[in-house]
Structure 1
Amino acid sequence: MFELSAQAQDFVVRTKDFIKNEIEPIETAFWNEVHTLNEGGDWTKWQWPAQLEDLKNKAKRAGLWNMFLPDPILGQGLSVQEYAHIAELTGRSLIAPTIFNCNAPDSGNMEVLWRYGSEIQKQLWLKPLLDGKIRSVFCMTEPEVASSDATNMQATAVIVGDEIVLNGRKWWSSGLGDPNAKVIIFMAHTPDETKDRLHQHSMVLVPIETVGVKIERMLPVFGDYDAPHGHGEISFENVHVPVENFIGGAGQGFEIAQGRLGPGRIHHCMRCIGAAEKSLELMIDRGMSRSAFGQEIIKLGGNLERVAEARVAIDQARLLTLYAAYKMDTLGNMAALTEISAIKVVAPNVLEKVVDMAIQIHGGAGVSRDTPLTGFFAQARSLRLADGPDEVHKSMIAKLELKKRGYGSAKKVM
C-alpha cells in the first residue's frame, strides 16, 4: 500500500543525503547566529543569516524544491503519500522545511493559489512564492472569539462596489515577522443572507503594505519569539483591496480551507514524526554516553521501557499518517476525514511525549538551546492547538463513528 515509486525513492534518498551533508553540520551554528541577530521582540529588525539563501539555492539546484506540490511542472509531481516520507525527513530539522521551500504556512498558501487562484493571482503571488523570493502569512485565528469554531469569526470582508473592505483583528499569524513576508491570505465573514453559514466566509489576498494593515506585535511561544519567523497579532482597519483579490470568489472560504488543511495536516504530522525520531535518537545517544550509579543512565529508572514505548508510538503514528495520506490520494479528502482528524490528535501528542522523555534524560541540557528539543516541544504543544485543537478533532471522529451506526446526520450529532 505504501510502496514508493522509483521517482519518490530517489527524492527520499537525495533529501536524506542533503540534510545529512548540508544541514545537520551547520544547524547548531545557524541557530546560534539566528539568536544573536534577533534578540527581543522588535520584528522590524529581524533578519535571517545569509547562509539561508545559500542553502536554499543549493537545494534548488539539486532539484529538492517545492516537493510538496503535486503539480509535475510547478512542483515535483509527488503524491501526498509520497511527499509524506520527505516531510518526515525534514521534520528532523527546524530549518530544513524552509531550505526546501516546503515550510508552513507558505506550502499551504501556495496550494491554495495553485488550486483556486486566478491566473493573475498566480503570476503576482504564486510564482514568487514558488521561486522562494517572498514569504506569506495566513490570517484566520482571532483574539476575541473561540477560534476552534471558525464560524465565530468577527473579521469582515464586505464588497463595496468593485472593492473589498476588510476589518478585524487576527493573531497567531505565523510568519508575520519574517522580513520577506509580502502577502497575507485573510479569512473573514462575508455576510450574505442568501447563503448558509458555511458559505459566508471568504479568503482575500492582501499585500502586507496595504494602507490600514498594522502589525501590532509578535507573540512569544513559551517565552521565545521564534524569530525571524514570528507569530503575530495584526489589525485590519478599513483596508481596501480590489474585488479580484477574492480567492475562488466570495463565500468560498470554508471550502478552500478544507482543501488547504487536508494535505497540510499530513505535512505537519509527518514532520512531528521526524522530530520524534530525532528526539529518540538524541535520547538514546545521551543515555548511552552518560553514567550514574555505576551504569549508563539509559538503563536507570525505567528508561529502557520508555525507549520501547517511544518506538511503538512513533511507528503507530507513522502508519496511521501514511494511511490517511493513502486515502486522500486514492479516495479524496472527504473519505479520509476520520484519519485526518485522528493523525492531528495522535502525531503531536506522540512528539510531545517522546520529546519530554528526551528532555528528561538530557537533564539541564534538555531545556537549553544546546539541542533542538525545546523547539520540538514547542512545536508539539502548539500543534495540539493549531489547525483545530485536539478536542475538536476527537469530536469529529466521534461524530463520524456515530453516523456509521445510523445515529443521525452530522449536524444532529453535533
Structure 2
Amino acid sequence: MAVSFIILAAGQGTRMNSERPKVLHELAGAPLLAHAMATADRQSPERLVVVTGHGGAEVAAVARGLNPDVQVVEQAEQLGTAHAVLQAEPALRGARGDAIVLYGDTPFISDATIAAMLRARARHDVVVLGFEAADPARYGRLVVEGADLTRIVEWKDATEAERSLTLCNSGVICADAGVLMALVAEVGNDNAAGEYYLPDIVALARARGMSAGVVTCDEAETLGINTRAELAAAEAAFQSRARAEALENGVSLIAPETIHFAFDTVIGRDAVVGPNVVFGPGVTVESGAEIRAFCHLEGCHVSQGAQVGPFARLRPGAELAEGARVGNFVEIKNAVLDAGAKVNHLSYIGDAHVGEAANIGAGTVTCNYDGVSKHRTEIGARAFIGSDTMLVAPVRVGAGAMTASGSVITADVPADAMAVGRARQVNKEGFARRLFEKLRAAKGGK
C-alpha cells in the first residue's frame, strides 16, 4: 500500500527558550525531527515531505542529512497547521495512496499505530489519531457516534458536556493524499487566532458525505515536546522503554537505571552491560560482548566476545573484532582491532589498524596528528608494543615485531624485529645524594 508522510516542523518553540529550532533539540542522541522521520522511513514511503519555517535552512539541512530523498518545503508565515500541510501540495501532487501528517516535535508514534491508521482507512475517508487523556486539560476533544467521528471541538469552543470527554485529538491525521489536499485547501480562518486549523477537515469531509473515524493509541505515544521539562520527561520515557526492551531481548543490564541508550543502539542477546555506560549514536554491540562500567561508546562496532572497559571510550570508527580487549582508561578512535588484539591500559589508539593477537602495552600512544593532517599506524599480527611507546604516524610495525618500553618509534619496524627508540641509560654514582643535600641546604637558608 503506497503511503506518503508530511512532517510539520515549522514552529519556533518559544517555550524552549532557545535559539535552536525546536525540532533540532536532541532526544536520545538525535534531533526530535530524526525520530519523526524514522517513523516515516520505516514505512518505505512513496514521498516524504518536511515542512519548515523557523530556522528553515538549518532544519532543511538536518532533514536532508538524515534522508537525501526528503522533499523540503517552506511555510514562510506560520498561519496554522492546515496552512502548513497545504504547503506540501506541490510535493505530493500525483502521489498514490494515503498521506499521514506527523509532527516534528512528537517523537513516539509507533509503527503499530501507523499500521492501525492505514487499516482504518478501509472503513473511513479520514482517520484521526486519538488518545484517552489522564488529564484532558485544554486538548481538543473527539466527538464520536458509534464508529464515526462526528467532529473535533476545541476546548475553548466546547460545551461543558464536551469538555467532560477524555478522548482527545493528537493532531495526527491520515487520508487519501489527493483528498487531504483538497480538504485543507477549503479550511478557513474564521476564528479568534485567524489561523487555518487542520482538525477542521473532519467537518469539511462530513459535509462532502465522507466518513471520519478514530484510531486510539496510548497517551505516551502522543507526547509533544514544547518545553525543556517535557524534553527531559521524554528522555526519561525513552530510556525506560529502551532498557525494558534490552532486557526483554536477552541483554544483561547490571544496573539498568544507570545505562543511557541512543535512538539507534543495537545490542545482541547475552551481551552484558555494566553500570553507568553511555551509548551515543551509531553503536552496535554483538552477542556475548561485555561492556564494563563507566564506558562511553559512539559510532563503533563491538564484535562477539569482545570486552570493553571499565572506564574506556570508543569513538566513531572504532571496530573491535571477536575477542578483542579494550581496558581501563583506553581511547579508541577510527581504528580496527583484529581478533584477540589487546589494549588493556591507559592508551590512545587513533587512525590505526592493530593486527590479530597483538598486545599494546600501557601508556601507548599513536601520534596520529601533525597539526594539519591525520596519519595512520599499522601494527601487525602478534606484535608486542612495549609500555609507554610513542608511535609517530605514519608508521608500520610488522607482524611479530616488538618495541622496547619507553620508545619513540618514527620509522617502520620490520616483522619479527625489536625496535629501541630511546637514549642509552647513564648512571651517575652518588649524584642523587649530592643533589638532594644541595637542594635541602638551599631551602634551609631561606
TM category (shorter chain) comes to under 0.3
Q: Which has the larger radius of gyration?
A: 2
Structure ranking higher in helix proportion: 1
- Return the TM-score normalized by structure 2: 0.22
Larger relative contact order (C-alpha < 8 A, sep ≥ 6)? 1
Structure ranking higher in strand proportion: 2
